[in-house]
Amino acid sequence: MKRIKNIEKCDFFYKLKRKLKDGIYTLEVALHNKLKRKRKNTASIERENKLNLLFYISLVTLPLLQVVVFYFYVNFNSFFLAFQEYNPVTLRYDWALWKNFDNIWFFVSREKTLLYCFRNSALSYVVTLFISLPLALLFSQYIYKKGPAGGFFKTVLFIPSIIPEMIMTTMFLYFADSFIPATVKGIFGKEIAGLLTQGNTTMLITLLCYSVFISFGGNIIMYSSTMSGIDKSLVEAAQLDGATQMQEFWHITIPMIYPTLSTFITVGVAGIFTHQLSLFSLFGADGNAYNEVWTIGYFLYSRTVYAGSANYPELAAYGLLMTIIAVPLVFTVRYLLSKFGPKTD
């Protein structure tokens, strides 16, 4: 009897030992599989990160290359080129210090072309600031408040912005030089010259009017889209307080869209030195437009198109002078707008 009990006892410990071994083995297998899966997941994550990095590099390489070549390199090269001159014997650029600036001063003192350019460019900005901008804001407010036929006006005014510029300028040339004279002759029996055939005040006013017209649609889309983001609770509170449409426009709409407005005004200051009044589209780059209506942008562009190696240093000097004038002017306007502009609070 005692022997049987000993056998049963030994069998119990044997089974317990086997269960412990099986449990430990199962645990080891589970841990091994878990570590294997973890290493596999880690390798998969590392591979995915590498692929994401390659994808990101492929996206940013070309833009970065363009910035480096067409911004940093071009501008630095232009800066040094302003103090050099082309040597036709060695076919290289040699240092000339202030020679190009002396040539510019000689040209300005003898010719009025550059003075016309500054006058017309500044006048274009003034017209944009005091005529085009207020009209665009008022029309944008009308569209934003969903006035009668507001969507129709929005579409019609935006059409010139999506039609190719060459088509628009061709239509405008016909309108100014053929349609207007024929209409005046048919109604009043008086012959007049085309509005764009003489370099006089009429031609300059016509170009300024066309500039306002061609930029009107884009400005309205921009301002009305910004206005649509104004918190409706502010407008409702103003209406409950009895504010009129003009009071709402002046005290709510303008302050709320002022960041966008100030940005466009500041960018417009820099545009003084690049705006062409559509002269290139109307008359080409040959300088066919009368000097009295040239702008700084058209002056530099028309000279650059047909420039050779010997002309680049002087053009670079022009660009450097324009930058010296434009940079402090832009920062001054930006400071004044931020200091004296309306506050949303």
For the chain, domain boundaries: 1-62, 111-340
Express each pLDDT in 262-309 by its tens digit.
988 998 898 888 888 888 888 876 656 788 888 998 888 888 888 888
Dist CA 173 CA 163 (whole Å): 15
pLDDT of 14 > 70? The answer is no
pLDDT of 325 > 70? The answer is yes
The predicted pLDDT at position 9 comes to 47
Dist CA 317 CA 98 (whole Å): 9
| Strands in 12-109 per DSSP E | 84-87, 92-95
The predicted pLDDT at position 213 comes to 86
Residue pair 213/199 in contact (Cβ under 8 Å)? The answer is: no
Confidence label for 55 from pLDDT (cuts 50, 70 and 90): confident
CATH architecture of 111-340: Orthogonal Bundle (1.10)
Residue pair 293/203 in contact (Cβ under 8 Å)? The answer is: yes
Partner residues linked to 93 by β-bridges: 86
Contacts of the segment 196-204: beta carbons below 8 A, 24+ positions apart: 196/282, 198/290, 199/289, 199/290, 199/291, 199/292, 199/293, 200/292, 203/290, 203/292, 203/293, 204/120, 204/123, 204/292, 204/293
Partner residues linked to 92 by β-bridges: 87
The predicted pLDDT at position 37 comes to 62
Confidence label for 19 from pLDDT (cuts 50, 70 and 90): low
The predicted pLDDT at position 126 comes to 92
Between 252 and 12, the more confident residue is 252
Dist CA 59 CA 165 (whole Å): 31
The predicted pLDDT at position 275 comes to 85
**Max CA separation in the chain (angstroms):** 145
Report which of 82, 216, 225, 198 is spatially closest to residue 161, judged by C-alpha positions: 216
The predicted pLDDT at position 8 comes to 47
The one-letter code for the residue type at 95 is W
The predicted pLDDT at position 127 comes to 92
Mean predicted confidence (pLDDT) in 155-169: 80
Mean predicted confidence (pLDDT) in 28-51: 65
The predicted pLDDT at position 3 comes to 46
pLDDT of 24 > 80? The answer is no
Q: Note the pTM of the prediction, 2 decimals.
A: 0.76
The predicted pLDDT at position 286 comes to 66
